[in-house]
Structure 1
Amino acid sequence: ITVAELLIAVEDFDNFTADNDPYAEHDFGVIKLSGDTFFWKFDYYDLDLQMHSPDPTDTNVTTRVLTIMLADEY
Structure 2
Amino acid sequence: MNADAYDTAVRFVDTWSESVPDIASGLTCREVDALVELFCAFNRDELADQLIAAHVAEDTDPVDLHYQNETA
For the criterion TM > 0.5, the same-fold answer is no
Higher strand share: 1
> TM-score of the superposition, structure 1-length normalised?
0.28
